[in-house]
């Protein structure tokens, strides 16, 4: 199964459109969204083409293919307009023998791990900083931000396929990758 993973769209119709085009071009089977889908948040500038209603329309068209978790900017009103669940704090995915704990990252992150075993994977967004590294036997993965990247990074998403986690920019360049 090929997963496209993204975080922190923050209501950007421009980057959501790029994400949807990439999803189709890559032939991914499912999209995993790690929160902060519609609202830009009080600490962020407005992203390119800030249009949450357009983001809602684009994502709802793929509602049967999206798994999502709640970010710190999600609220119950978001669930009223999105036609797929968005209010879970985390989800567990299993990739072969690996357990992947997917969450936004504002509660659980590399410095506050959820219950995990050696060899498990923590997948989160929130920081807007891409990451693919092993730390104390846990693989820490962050696809970066699709619309408001930090740390000099470009807008990014990730693909998980055939045991490879690849973080890519929207031109298709691999920015970072790691075998899980």
Please name the residues in contact with 21: beta carbons below 8 A apart, sequence gap of 6 or more: none
- The pLDDT of residue 15 is 98
Closest CA to 121 of 135, 101, 105: 101
Q: At 9, list the tokens.
A: 């769209």
**Would you state the pLDDT for residue 9?**
98
Return the pLDDT at 159. Answer: 98
Other C-beta atoms closer than 10 Å to the C-beta of 116 total 15
Q: Which are the contacts of 110, defined by CB distance < 8 A and separation ≥ 6?
A: 122, 135, 138, 140
The pTM (predicted TM-score) of the whole model is 0.97
Say what the pLDDT of residue 71 is. 98
Cβ count within 10 A of residue 41: 14
Task: Summarize pLDDT for 118-162 with one digit per residue, the tens.
Answer: 999 999 999 999 999 999 999 999 999 999 999 999 999 999 999
- The pLDDT value recorded for residue 44 is 85
DSSP state of 41: -
Ordered domains of the chain (ranges, CATH):
3-179 (3.60.21.10)
With a cut of 70, list the residues of the chain below it in pLDDT: none
């Amino acid at each position: 199964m090929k997963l496209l993973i993204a975080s922190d769209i923050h209501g950007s119709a421009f980057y959501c459109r790029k994400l949807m085009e990439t999803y189709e071009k890559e032939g991914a089977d499912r999209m995993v969204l790690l929160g902060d889908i519609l609202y830009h948040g009080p600490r962020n500038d407005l992203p390119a083409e800030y249009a949450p209603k357009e983001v809602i329309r684009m994502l709802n068209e793929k509602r049967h293919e999206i798994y999502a978790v709640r970010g710190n900017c999600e609220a119950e009103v978001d669930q009223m307009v999105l036609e797929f669940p968005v209010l879970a704090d985390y989800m567990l995915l299993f990739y072969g023998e690996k357990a992947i704990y997917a969450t936004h990252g504002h509660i659980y992150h590399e410095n506050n791990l959820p219950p995990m075993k050696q060899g498990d994977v923590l997948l989160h967004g929130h920081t807007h900083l891409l990451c693919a590294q092993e730390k104390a036997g846990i693989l820490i993965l962050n696809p970066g931000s699709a619309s408001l990247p930090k740390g000099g990074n470009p807008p990014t998403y990730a693909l998980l396929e055939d045991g490879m986690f690849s973080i890519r920019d929207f031109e298709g360049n691999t920015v970072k990758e790691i075998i899980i």
